[in-house]
Amino acid sequence: MRKVNGFAKVLMILILILITVTIVLFGYLVLTDQKNQEVYAKEPSQVIQNYANSGTENQMAMQNQQVEIKDASIITAHNLFYVQLDDNAKIMYTALENHQEDMKSGDYRIEFGYQFNDLLQEEGGAESLNQSFQSAWNAYRFDHMEVFYLDVSKIFLFTKTTIQGGISTYEVSLGAQEGENYLASGYETKEDIEKAEQQIEMQVNELVAFSNGTTAEKIKQVHDWLVDNLSYAQNGEMNPNAYDIYGAFVEKQAVCEGYARAFKLLMDKMEIPCILIAGTGTNSNGETESHAWNYVYIDGIWYAVDVTWDDPVIVGNGLLDEERKYQYFLKGSDEFFQTHTQNGILSDNSMEFLYPELAKENYEG
């Protein structure tokens, strides 16, 4: 009987010890939670713009690619790249659209709250989120020609981590570094941007108002105006406007991306399905470099237009003959892909976007 009572005493002591340890541990956790929570921001992940990757492997992978995007009825002026995004990237893209006006301030921060918390709880979630954002930014820029005033190298994705009771939660936002802004060179205020927009709009509205005829005729009118009125910016790297619609419509100087963006903006205004394409071009000297052009939709079929190469620099101020002026106008894949290679990888750390399948033969209208 004494042995049994002794065992019971030992058991009671062990239970009391366990209860005491539990109470102490619980009290520690409560005390920790009552203090200021540990909050810190991870290193911002910078978005890097590189509109066309010209690596040899990517060129070979994209060569003669056939893409099942044929029905222009599902393609509006602004959604071809959006519809290919994953769900997280679509959230970011939509936020960029919804806050497009706010971002003209240069320092507006888009708050996503805890929308990506579940993703960031997963192994590799941060890398996945960064890729979704890079893809969203690329899609946004390739769908929206009117956004010319943001400098992507100054835009960062921030993650704030809060630890409570040993559990981490994540808030995500998008913006500029503290005390800085993400406006492109030459724009200091929202008023600067709106003034530039008015100059562009005046030129665009005039061109749209005078367009007439069939779809093919309207495309030709836009093509001809760009060829006749723009000059290729020989020192494009010194002029950031040469890559966007301001350089094309106001300064009348652009590089290939500026030509292609101007062409697409006018097609959008005329409600003619048009896509901005990135890739590489190989000239008659066998030189290959990053390049941009367009695809347009006529009578249920896609054709290629390269306005830049239809506006070559003529040595000695010579005249451009008619045949040379339309060498890359409404072309099919059989001819066009001899010198052009499309590339759906618009930058490092981005998804690969798909393009519509071109007609094999050139347009005959």
Q: Is residue 194 part of a domain?
A: yes
Q: Is residue 328 part of a domain?
A: yes
Q: Which of 7-16, 44-53, 330-339 has the highest mean pLDDT?
A: 330-339
Q: Is residue 337 part of a domain?
A: yes
DSSP SS3 for 146: coil
Q: Is residue 58 part of a domain?
A: no
Q: What is the pLDDT of residues 214-229, one digit of tens each?
A: 999 999 999 999 999 9
Q: 350, 324 in Cβ contact below 8 A?
A: no
Q: Is residue 79 part of a domain?
A: no
- Specify the DSSP class assigned to residue 170: E
Q: What is the mean pLDDT of the chain?
A: 83
Q: What is the pTM of this model?
A: 0.80
Q: How many domains does the chain have?
A: 2
Residue 289's domain is classified under what CATH number? 3.10.620.30
pLDDT reading at 81 higher than 90: yes
Q: Is residue 312 part of a domain?
A: yes
CA distance 305 to 261: 12
Q: Is residue 258 part of a domain?
A: yes
pLDDT reading at 198 higher than 60: yes
Q: What is the pLDDT of residues 202-212, one digit of tens each?
A: 999 999 999 99
Query: Which residues lie across from 121 on neighbouring strands?
Result: none
CA dihedral of 276, 282, 288, 293, whole degrees rounded to 10: -10
- 2: Cβ contacts below 8 Å, ≥ 6 apart: none
Q: What is the pLDDT of residues 231-258, one digit of tens each?
A: 999 875 678 899 999 999 999 999 999 9
pLDDT reading at 299 higher than 50: yes
- Per the model's pLDDT, the better-predicted residue between 267 and 43 turns out to be 267
Q: What is the pLDDT of residues 12-60, one digit of tens each?
A: 666 666 665 455 444 444 333 333 332 323 233 333 233 333 333 333 2
Domain range spanning residue 236?
A: 190-342
pLDDT reading at 163 higher than 80: yes
Q: Is residue 154 part of a domain?
A: no
